[in-house]
């Protein structure tokens, strides 16, 4: 019942009827939140889709507000993302270096307040996302479309409703964001994603997108493939591996996506320790399976966990796992936690 009321609240904020829930209605609802004197903070967890979406929000608010600042709590370490930021000259700040009180309007993009503890501490005026709906938060303007493959696709619709043709840099970012988040349309997506990609096709610099796609691994990170292949455990079509401490959680995603292409692996679950957290990446084909639900069931009581049917993530403070003294988390530890909830 509570979830239904929450959905009704979102429906009230962004009308879902075919006649009223148009791209123009959403655009006007978004613009109505802001005034000329506003200093706007756009918060993202930096990845290609979120970065592209933030660039689009900045463009939509050009000449309508005093300033727009893009910020992220996470340091960008993945090579492809660093290349994207550098080549497209995306202005992004670290969230902890800013004073939240300096901004009277806040936008959360490609995420929702419960997804990270630092998000939950901020009162957002606008939330635009394509992940499953969460609860116990609110905003003046909400646009959540879990059936879309990428926020970038949603932002293309905003731009087109505003009659704004994106620059080559913005089009390139959005094109890449859609490709990454839909995994070249291998993941759940809808016709709207394809329409947005086609619109960007002749505007984006596709050679630059290819450059981003090829810039993925440091030579020093090749060792993680060796660890994964040596420590991989497979049971009933489920592949598990714990990589130990990693320089960046992005390498877990790379390994999980690599293993997800292996024949007869119905599930892939890869974990590693970064800082004081255990990060777990879930992959499956999304057919009669739900990675987001499994992530919540397995690790939701410990920390942020969830995602889509075919891809999900969990981040757990190590102290919450209550491991026995001198006991290291291993691939077998991962198997025990995950299989407890898998049919």
Instruction: Quick: pLDDT tens for 159-182.
Output: 999 999 999 999 999 999 999 999
Q: How far is CA 98 from CA 44, 54, 94, 95, in A?
A: 14, 17, 7, 6
Please tell me whether residues 282 and 157 are part of one structural domain: no
- HSE-up of 279 (CA within 13 Å, CB side)? 18
**Alpha helices, DSSP H only, in the chain?**
2-13, 23-31, 48-60, 79-87, 117-120, 151-161, 168-181, 191-200, 206-214, 223-231, 250-259, 291-299, 318-321, 331-339
Residues 186 and 233 in one domain: no
pLDDT band at 16 (very low <50, low <70, confident <90, very high): very low
pLDDT of 326: 55
- Residues 205 and 227 grouped into a single domain: no
Q: Which has more confidence, 202 or 301?
A: 202
Identify whether residues 120 and 177 lie together within a single domain: yes
Please indicate, yes or no, whether residues 136 and 258 belong to a single structural domain of this protein. no
Report how far residue 298's alpha carbon sits from residue 227's, in angstroms, rounded to the nearest whole number: 24
Range of the domain at 101: 2-214
* Token duo for residue 15: 């009308």
Task: Give percent above pLDDT 90 in the chain.
Answer: 60
- Boundary of a domain, candidates 176, 195, 214: 214
17 pLDDT above the threshold of 70:
no
Q: Tokens 């660039």 sit at which residue? A: 55
171 with 23, same domain?
yes
Q: How many CB atoms lie within 10 A of CB 139?
A: 21
Residue 144 and residue 228 in one domain: no
Q: With 50 as the cut, is the pLDDT of residue 15 above it?
A: no
**Are 235 and 274 in a shared domain?**
yes
Of 175, 197, 214, the position where a domain reaches its end is 214
Lowest mean pLDDT among 38-47, 52-61, 193-202, 320-329: 320-329
Q: Give pLDDT, residue 221.
A: 86
Q: Are residues 160 and 32 in the same domain?
A: yes
Domain count, the chain: 2
Structure confidence at residue 228 as a pLDDT band (50, 70, 90) = very high
Give which of 65, 63, 7, 75 is closest to 274, Cα–Cα.
75
pTM score:
0.72
């Amino acid at each position: 019942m509570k979830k239904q009321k929450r959905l009704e609240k979102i429906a009230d904020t962004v009308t879902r009827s075919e006649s009223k829930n148009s791209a123009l209605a959403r655009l006007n609802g978004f613009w109505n939140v802001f005034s000329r004197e506003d200093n706007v903070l756009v918060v993202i967890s930096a990845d290609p889709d979120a970065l592209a979406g933030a660039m689009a929000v900045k463009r939509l608010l050009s000449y309508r507000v005093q300033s727009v600042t893009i910020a992220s709590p996470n340091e960008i370490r993945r090579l492809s993302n660093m290349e994207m930021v550098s080549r497209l000259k995306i202005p992004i700040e670290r969230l902890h270096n800013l004073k939240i009180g300096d901004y009277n309007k806040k936008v959360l993009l490609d995420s929702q307040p419960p997804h990270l503890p630092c998000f939950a501490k901020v009162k957002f005026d606008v939330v635009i996302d394509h992940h499953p709906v969460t609860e116990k938060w609110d905003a003046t303007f909400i646009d959540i479309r879990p059936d879309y493959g990428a926020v970038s696709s949603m932002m293309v619709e905003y731009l087109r409703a505003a009659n704004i043709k994106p620059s080559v840099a913005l089009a390139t970012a959005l094109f890449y964001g859609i490709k990454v988040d839909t995994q070249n349309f291998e993941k759940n997506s809808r016709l709207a994603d394809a329409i947005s990609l086609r619109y960007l096709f002749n505007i984006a610099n596709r050679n630059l997108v290819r450059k981003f796609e090829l810039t993925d691994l440091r030579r020093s990170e090749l060792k993680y493939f060796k660890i994964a292949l040596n420590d991989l455990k497979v049971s009933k079509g489920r592949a598990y591996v714990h990589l130990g401490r990693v320089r960046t959680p992005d390498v877990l995603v790379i390994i999980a996506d690599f293993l997800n292409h292996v024949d007869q692996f119905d599930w892939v679950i890869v974990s590693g320790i970064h800082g004081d957290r255990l990060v777990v990446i879930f992959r499956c084909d999304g057919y009669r399976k739900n990675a987001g639900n499994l992530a919540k069931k397995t690790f939701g009581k410990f920390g942020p966990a969830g995602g889509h049917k075919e891809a999900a993530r969990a981040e757990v403070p190590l102290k919450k796992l209550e491991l026995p003294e001198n006991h290291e988390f291993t691939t077998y530890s991962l198997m025990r936690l995950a299989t407890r909830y898998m049919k």
